[in-house]
Amino acid sequence: QVQLVESGGGLVQAGGSLRLACAASGRSFAMGWFRQAPGKEREFVATSWSGSSTYYADSVRGRFTISRDNAKNTVYLQMNSLKPEDTAVYYCAARVNAGFSITASRYDYWGQGTQVTVSS
């Protein structure tokens, strides 16, 4: 069983930066970040798997960076050049295998979510 706890959400002005963290209680082989705005479906943001492999949604590529701190068993999402369109609840998710996936249903465990609000 893997338990995930997100932190770092908040209010930031457009163009600003925010760093989200997700602490995992157990070992996970792949991690993902997803987001969901009110009335919208959950969408993929970024994933890290198989050590150093990463992949990003087109909407955030070049602005967001996913990284890991193995000693703390924590995954981060560094968000730069934030836009109002980035406003959403952000969720970290764990997939207990080494494979690549951008599909929410393929992830096994989810955090509670953290609100990110970007003002214009």
pLDDT in tens, 59-82: 999 999 999 888 888 999 999 999
User: pLDDT-based confidence at 28, cuts 50/70/90?
Assistant: low
Alpha-carbon separation of residue 15 from 67, 69, 89, 119 (angstroms): 21, 26, 18, 9
Q: For the chain, how are helix, strand and coil distributed in percent, rounded to 5? A: 5, 50, 45
Tell me: pLDDT of 7 over 90: yes
CA-to-CA distance for 1 and 27, rounded, in angstroms? Answer: 9
